[in-house]
């Protein structure tokens, strides 16, 4: 089964409330525990944060596909540029096959090299 078909099956099951999704419940508990422990490590000073000198906007969520993140990023870039800012975007570029990372995406790149969404954002 192709990757897109697998994703479609999971997204469809999610929105239809498929019964077998309950089998994943223990993984959500594990994720919650991991998140709690990680947060505690940061609060206790065991792990440290990196603070950047510029404002950062994070666009993301834990919903499955098609929630409009890319159009939102493009709209934010447009508005920020109109306001005189020079925004940059960091994206993991799902499916990209660059020879090294980070990869600075240029309009002449292919979707295979940069990932389809980073290329769309750049163009």
98-112 pLDDT, tens digit per residue, is 888 888 888 998 888
**Residue 3: what pLDDT?**
60
Q: Which residue has the tokens 């944060």?
A: 49
| Domain contains 56 | no
76 shares a domain with 117: yes
What is the Cα–Cα distance from 76 to 60, expressed in whole angstroms? 13
| pTM (global) more than 0.95 | no
Encode pLDDT of 11-53 as tens digits.
888 899 999 999 999 999 999 999 999 999 999 999 998 889 9
**Closest listed residue to residue 3, CA positions, set 80, 65, 88, 49:** 65
Task: Give residue 106's domain range.
Answer: 69-122
Residue 6 predicted with pLDDT over 70: no
Distances (CA, A) of 23 to 13, 19, 29, 112: 13, 8, 12, 34
28 shares a domain with 73: no
Q: Confirm if 115 and 91 have CB atoms less than 8 A apart.
A: yes
| Domain contains 62 | no
Q: Between the CA atoms of 74, 14, 2 and 108, what dihedral angle is there, to the nearest 10 degrees?
A: 0
CA neighbours closer than 13 Å in the CB half-sphere of residue 44? 7
Q: How far apart are the first and last CA of the chain?
A: 31
Q: How many domains are there within the chain?
A: 2
């Amino acid at each position: 089964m192709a990757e897109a078909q697998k994703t479609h099956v999971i997204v469809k099951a999610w929105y239809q409330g498929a019964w077998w999704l309950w089998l994943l419940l223990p993984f959500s508990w594990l994720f919650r525990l991991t998140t709690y422990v990680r947060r505690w490590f940061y609060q206790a000073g065991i792990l440290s944060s990196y603070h950047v000198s510029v404002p950062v906007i994070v666009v993301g969520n834990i919903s499955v596909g098609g929630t409009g993140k890319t159009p939102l990023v493009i709209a934010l870039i447009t508005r920020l540029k109109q306001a005189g800012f020079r925004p940059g975007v960091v994206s993991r570029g799902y499916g990209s096959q660059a020879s090294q990372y980070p990869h600075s995406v240029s309009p002449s790149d292919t979707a295979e090299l940069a990932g389809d969404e980073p290329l769309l954002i750049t163009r």
